Amino acid sequence: MPIISIINQKGGVGKSTLALQLSAALNKLKEKTLLIDMDPQGHLSLGLGIEKNNLKKSIFNVLDVRYENGMGLADVTIKVNDYLDLIPSNIELSTLELILANRHGRESRLSNALNPQLTSQYDYIIIDCPPNLGMLTINALLASEYVIVPFDTSAFSIDGINYLNSTLQMLSNKINHKVDICYVLNNYDARVQKNKNYY
C-alpha cells in the first residue's frame, strides 16, 4: 500500500488540487484511498465539502503530543464515499509546529499513527502537505514511500525545483528515510509563449 506525499514549499502550484484529482482517479478504479490533509489552510478538506471551521476533531488531535493517549487516526477519519476517506485539517494545525518544537519523536508522529491496523484498510494513502518544509512536511515525508512535487512554469517555481530537490535529499538523509520523488508539471498551457520557452 503506497503512501504518497504531495510536497512543494511554494504555494499555489496545485498540491491540494493534485491530491483531489489523484483521489478521484483512484475512486473511479475502486481503489480504497485515505486522504490526509496536513495543511493548516485545509484546502483539501474544503475541496471535499468539509466545513473546516466547524471541525470538532482533525489531524491536529492525533499529532498533538500533549495528548499521548488521545485520538488515533481512525477517530478523526471522515467517510467521503465507499472508496474515499479523509482526515481533515484546519487552522488549529498551524500551532503544532510550536507544540512539537522541542519534543522527542516529533518528526515521527504521523508515521507512528499510521499503524498497520489502519493502513491495511487502504490501497493508497495520499498526504497533502503545507507550502513549506517544516515539521508537518517532515512528518509526512517520514511516513511516505513516494513524493510527488507539482510545479508550474513560473520563474519562482522553476527556480525552486533544484533547491527543493536538494532539500528533500538532505532531509531524507538526515532522517535516514529514502523516498522516490516524481515531479509533475502542473498548469501547463502550450499556448503561452513563456511555457514554450521552458518546455
pLDDT at residue 140, rounded to an integer:
95
Statement: residue 67 has pLDDT above 80: no
pLDDT at residue 104, rounded to an integer:
85
Distance CA 10, CA 177 (A): 23
| H or E element at residue 137 | helix 135-143
Average pLDDT score, the chain: 88
Contact at 8 Å (CB) between 167 and 6? no
Contact at 8 Å (CB) between 56 and 13? no
As given in the structure block, the three cell numbers for residue 117 are: 491496523
Distance CA 178, CA 4 (A): 13
- pLDDT-derived band at 155, boundaries 50, 70, 90: confident
What is the rounded average pLDDT of the residues 169-192? 80
CA 149 to centroid of chain Cα atoms: 11
pLDDT at residue 173, rounded to an integer:
80
What is the rounded average pLDDT of the residues 53-80? 86
pLDDT at residue 9, rounded to an integer:
76
Q: Write out pLDDT tens, residues 2-61.
A: 999 999 877 777 889 999 999 999 999 999 999 999 999 999 999 999 988 888 899 999
pLDDT at residue 145, rounded to an integer:
94
Contact at 8 Å (CB) between 126 and 39? no
- Domains, the chain, ranges and CATH? 3-198 (3.40.50.300)
Q: Write out pLDDT tens, residues 92-110.
A: 999 988 888 888 888 889 9
Statement: residue 181 has pLDDT above 60: yes
pTM: 0.90
DSSP strand pairing (180-185 vs 124-128): unpaired
Contact at 8 Å (CB) between 164 and 8? yes
pLDDT at residue 126, rounded to an integer:
98
Contact at 8 Å (CB) between 130 and 40? yes
